[in-house]
Amino acid sequence: MSHTIKEKTKLLNRVRRIRGQIEAVERALEADTECAEVLHLLAATRGGLNGLMAEVMEDHIREHVASPDIESAAERLKGADELVEIVRTYLK
d(CA 91, CA 14): 21
Tell me phi and psi for residue 67, to 5 degrees.
Answer: -65, 130
Structural domain including 60 reads 3-91
Question: For the domain that residue 52 is a member of, what is the CATH number?
Answer: 1.20.58.1000
d(CA 32, CA 23): 14
Q: Whole-prediction pTM value? A: 0.83
CB 80 within 8 A of CB 65: yes
pLDDT per position as a tens digit, 16-53: 999 999 999 999 999 999 999 999 999 999 999 999 99
What is the total count of domains within the chain?
A: 1
Provide the total of helices (H) and of strands (E) in the chain, helices listed first.
4, 0
Per-residue pLDDT at 1: 46
pLDDT band at 56 (very low <50, low <70, confident <90, very high): very high
Amino acid at 77: L
Between these two residues, 44 and 1, which has the higher pLDDT value?
44
